[in-house]
């Protein structure tokens, strides 16, 4: 499992979002399968749940392996030219580790009828050189909303009665064409680092309400559940979201839009 998981992480630590009509792949994509082929290994996996979103400027992926809910996500920029995708990941997190060391990957892209196939050759799996292939299908698009884009968490806290507790998480979130991804790196009471993710669909209900329908998540309380969020926009590039829990407590997150120079 560990050997396979390392392969997954490296294939995943590489993705982004496009710019002009000739160099972008905007949309959200579900992974169909992952194939690992070498002189010894020839295996195809269908159990990794992963969503990958390319905005006009960034890319983000998130995934989870059930039943143990081991998760990973990454975010970065990319360039795309004909059949070559170069992914420049600036933050990634998986299971109990994270990295803000920039990583670049060159992937061969084959367009398919329903999406695309990405191929990384000469990939080392232990002592074996393998080719890693992942195939994706593109999701249907929804109208653009004021939230569409890539966001970084700048403040997070909970409110319980009159008590407020701040949380020191690293967190990113993407809304785009009706789909959303979030991923965070957090620490438990023993200061152990963990990775949490969630992805699914979203709709804006008026100017100040968002409904998220989570398809997959690290957390059983999020997976296949719907959440109503109160939204307060602060101009175009900053917003606050508030979730009111069943016990009356509230979770508050404040985000700033990431803008590529």
Query: How many residues in the chain?
Result: 261
Cα separation, 3 vs 43, in Å, equals: 13
Cα separation, 247 vs 163, in Å, equals: 14
Query: Which residue in 57, 18, 62 sits closest to 218, CA to CA?
Result: 62
Residue 65 in contact with residue 46, Cβ under 8 Å?
Answer: no
144 is written with which tokens? Answer: 């653009």
Average pLDDT (23-47) is 90
Which tens digit of pLDDT belongs to each residue from 101-128?
999 888 999 999 999 999 988 877 778 8
pLDDT of residue 23: 59
- For the whole model, what pTM was predicted? 0.88
HEC string of the chain equals CHHHHHHHHHHHCCCCCCCCCCCCCCEEEEEEEEEEEECCCEEEECCEEEEEEECCCCEEEEEEECCCCEEEEEEEEEEEECCEEEEEEEEEEECCEEECCCEEEEEEEEECCCEEEEEEEEEEECCEEEEEEEEEEECCCCCCCCCCEEEEEEEEEEEECCEEEECCCEEEEEEECCEEEEEEEEECCCCCEEEEEEEEEEEECCCCEEEEEEEEECCCCCCCCEEEEEEEECCCCEEEEEEECCCCCEEEEEEEECCCC
Share of the chain above pLDDT 70, in %: 91
Average pLDDT (3-10) is 41
Residue 135 in contact with residue 33, Cβ under 8 Å?
Answer: yes
Burial (CB < 10 A; 0-12, 13-18, 19+), residue 122, is exposed
Query: Which residue in 258, 260, 242, 239 sits closest to 250, CA to CA?
Result: 242
Cα separation, 62 vs 197, in Å, equals: 6
Query: Which residue in 235, 29, 54, 239 sits closest to 135, CA to CA?
Result: 29
Q: What domains are there in the chain, each with its CATH number?
A: 2-138 (2.40.128), 149-257 (2.40.128.490)
The angle subtended at Cα 65 by Cα 68 and Cα 102, nearest 5°, is 115
The pLDDT mean for the chain works out to 89
Average pLDDT (179-191) is 96
Determine which of 55-59, 184-188, 255-259 has the lowest per-residue pLDDT on average. Answer: 55-59
């Amino acid at each position: 499992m560990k050997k396979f998981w390392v392969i997954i992480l490296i294939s995943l630590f590489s993705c982004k979002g496009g710019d002009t009509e000739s160099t972008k792949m905007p949309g959200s994509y579900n992974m169909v399968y992952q194939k690992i082929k070498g002189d010894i290994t020839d295996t195809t996996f269908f159990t990794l749940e992963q969503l990958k979103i390319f905005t006009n400027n960034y890319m983000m992926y998130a995934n989870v392996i059930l039943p143990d809910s081991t998760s990973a996500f990454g975010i970065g920029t990319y360039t795309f030219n004909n059949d070559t995708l170069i992914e420049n990941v600036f933050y990634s997190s998986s299971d109990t580790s994270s990295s803000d060391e920039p990583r670049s990957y060159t992937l061969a892209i084959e367009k398919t009828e329903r999406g695309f196939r990405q191929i990384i050759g000469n990939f080392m799996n232990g002592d074996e050189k393998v080719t890693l292939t992942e195939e994706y299908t593109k999701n249907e698009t929804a109208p653009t909303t004021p939230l569409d884009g890539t966001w970084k968490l700048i403040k997070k806290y909970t409110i319980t009665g009159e008590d407020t507790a701040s949380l020191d998480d690293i967190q990113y979130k993407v809304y785009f064409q009706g789909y959303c991804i979030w991923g965070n790196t957090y620490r438990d009471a023993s200061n152990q680092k963990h990775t949490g993710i969630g992805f699914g669909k979203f709709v804006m209900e008026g100017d100040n309400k968002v409904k998220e329908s989570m398809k997959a998540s690290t957390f059983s309380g999020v997976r296949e559940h719907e959440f109503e969020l109160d939204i307060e926009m602060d101009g175009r590039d900053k917003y606050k979201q508030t979730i009111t829990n069943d016990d009356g407590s509230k979770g508050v997150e404040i985000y700033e839009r990431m803008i590529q120079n």
